[in-house]
Homo-oligomer: A and B are copies of this chain.
Amino acid sequence: MNRAVTGASVHDLSHQVTGREPGRTTYPLYDEAVLGLPGFWNPVCFADEVRNDRPIGVQVRGHKLALMRDEEGTVRALVDRCPHRGVPLSIGTCEFPGNLTCRYHGWTWDLKNGALKAALTDGADSPICKQGSAQARTYRVQERANMVWAYVDDDEAPSLGDQLPEEFAARDLLVLGRWQDVEADWRHGVENGFDEGHAKMLHRTSLWKTFRYVPAWSKIKVTTSEDSRTLTRTVTDKGFETDYPGLGVWPHKRHWWQKPEGKPGGKRKPPVVSVNLPGIVRVHWPDHPLGEFDFWEIWVAAEPHRYRIFQLLTQRARGLIRWRTRIAYDLAIRWIYHHSFHDEDLLMVRAMETPPEVLYRPDRSISAWRRMVEDYLTKRGLGDHRPPYNSDEPQSLRKT
């Protein structure tokens, strides 16, 4: 057995350690991006979760935010830590519309600019307000497509409209979905999401595939958009029962009720899968019985080795069509796709320990994604990309 080649055993790791840091791909900036990519708006929660009478706390790219609506109903964000004694503002209260009051001593912060309007328990003449010596950091937040998006970098924020697909601004956009916090690296999430190969093995027996006969294999090509922010994965060939040398035919059986998935000559156009910066997988169904719609998965790093994933179904629709999709989502899609199907993915994302790794042909989707991120970070310069997170936790891709 050629142990130098495998890179696979626990034993080998100890040897590799001497030569090279474990947990590294060939993309150094990608490896550094523990807390996601700078220069983008990230969704933090759904819009209807933010109220005007009490705050909620979210975490994005190492920053903790307390969200509340001001008196006009606009969502605002302050740093989720009272500068006074360091307790979370997200357990505070709303004593005056448009202001967030700390639960501990009543320091009252203007949601719009983070100014200290009053330290209630020190009276109207409290010197701390006049000195201007206390200030809560504000964050830029916007509502779009039923979600709240935050920009946490220090530089000028790009236009949210420019970043998001056009239809996210449409008034007739139906947005259905959920989010979930996962203890895993956001990059493993995206890589699994844009990974062509695993569906045909991991999800073969999932509830979602009950009426589908999944191919054994496929060949793909990956194309890059002009702005280098989107990769599209296209299947160029696929096979069902296949005779593997030295093993035999696989998969073994097709149930009579299963319809081969995406067999050429099908009447409907196949879905198109793409991945977008900073970490969004889109599955566009141009020609589905429910009409044209999109599935989205958005990975947002919260802190090292923890992310929030948004799973969405969006459709531009009105009237009955809109209701039909909503009912289909609530009764079926949510449970069998966004829950049970996704749980299979999570099993892998949580168990994954790479690098080291040995990639194969379908992994060109993963390599292309890493290269796109690397290119983006190289152009941008690392500047404020360095994670603000103050932590002793491992910061590499590799779970330790």
Measured CB to CB, the residues of A under 8 A from B are: 1-3, 5-14, 17, 22, 62-64, 79, 81-88, 91, 95-96, 99, 101-108, 113-114, 117-124, 126-128, 132-138, 152, 154, 195, 197-198, 200-202, 216-219, 239, 242-248, 250, 252, 347-348, 351-362, 386, 388-390, 392, 400
Task: Choose among B14, B99, B127 the residue that contacts A361 (Cβ–Cβ < 8 A).
Answer: B127
- Contacts beyond the supplied A1-B113, A9-B81: 19 A-B pairs with Cβ under 8 Å: A5-B133, A6-B135, A8-B83, A8-B135, A9-B63, A11-B137, A85-B357, A91-B351, A104-B202, A105-B201, A118-B247, A121-B218, A121-B362, A123-B216, A123-B239, A126-B217, A126-B361, A127-B361, A128-B361
Contacts A17-B390, A104-B202, A137-B3 given; does A217 touch B121 at CB 8 Å: yes
Are A81 and B10 touching (Cβ within 8 A)?
yes
Contacts of A84 in B (CB 8 A): 357-360
Chain B proximity of A79: nearest CB distance (Å): 4
Tell me the bound Cα distance from A54 to B304 in angstroms. Answer: 34
Look across to chain B and name the residue whose beta carbon is closest to the beta carbon of A80. Answer: B10
The answer to whether B7 touches A120, judged by C-beta atoms less than 8 angstroms apart, is no
A243-B356 Cα distance, complex, nearest whole Å: 64
If A10-B62, A347-B91 touch, whether A200 touches B106 (CB-CB below 8 Å) is yes
> How far is it, in angstroms, between the C-alpha of A86 and the C-alpha of B9 when the chains are bound?
10
Cα A355 to Cα B136 with chains together (Å): 15
Listed residue (A64, A117, A132, A354) with the most chain B CB atoms within 10 angstroms of its CB? A354
CA distance A248 to B217 in the complex (A): 68
Complexed CA–CA distance, A297 and B95 (Å): 31
Q: Which residues of B contact A123 (CB under 8 A)?
A: 216-217, 219, 239, 242
Most buried by B among A2, A10, A113, A137: A10
Report the separation of the CA atoms of residues A248 and B354 in the bound assembly, to the nearest whole angstrom. Answer: 57
Supposing A117-B246, A123-B217, A128-B361 touch, asked if A353 and B388 sit within 8 A by C-beta, the answer is: no
A81-B9, A88-B351 known; A124-B197 Cβ under 8 A: no
Evaluate whether A134 and B361 lie within 8 angstroms (CB atoms) in the complex, with A86-B352, A87-B351, A120-B244 already known: no
Return chain B residues, CB-CB under 8 Å to A105.
195, 197-198, 201-202, 360, 362
Q: Cα distance A354–B198 when bound, in Å? A: 47
Contact (Cβ within 8 A) A128 B358: yes
The answer to whether A104 touches B198 (Cβ under 8 A) is yes
A83 vs chain B, min Cβ distance (A): 3
Q: Kindly state the separation between the CA atoms of A115 and B237 in the bound complex, as whole angstroms.
A: 27
What CA separation (Å) do A170 and B217 show in the bound complex? 50
Asked whether, in the complex, the Cβ of A137 is within 8 Å of the Cβ of B352, the reply is: no
Find chain B residues with CB under 8 A from A103 CB.
Answer: 201-202, 348
Q: Out of B136, B216, B352, name the residue touching A6 (CB < 8 Å).
A: B136
Find A128's partner among B5, B202, B360 (CB 8 Å cutoff). Answer: B360
Contact between chains at B135 and A1 (CB < 8 Å)? yes
A1 to B355, CA, bound (A): 41
- The CA-CA distance from A199 to B84 in the complex, in Å, is 15
| A63 contacts across to B, CB distance below 8 A | 9-11
Could you tell me if A117 and B247 are in contact, using CB atoms closer than 8 angstroms?
Answer: yes
Establish whether residues B243 and A1, one from each chain, have CB atoms under 8 Å apart when the complex forms.
no
* Residues on B with beta carbons closer than 8 Å to the beta carbon of A195: 105
Contacts of A10 in B (CB 8 A): 62-64, 79, 81, 388-390
Whether A87 and B352, one on each chain, are in contact in the complex, defined by CB atoms closer than 8 angstroms, is yes
Shortest CB distance A240–B (Å): 11
Among residues of B, the one whose C-beta sits closest to the C-beta of A62 is B10
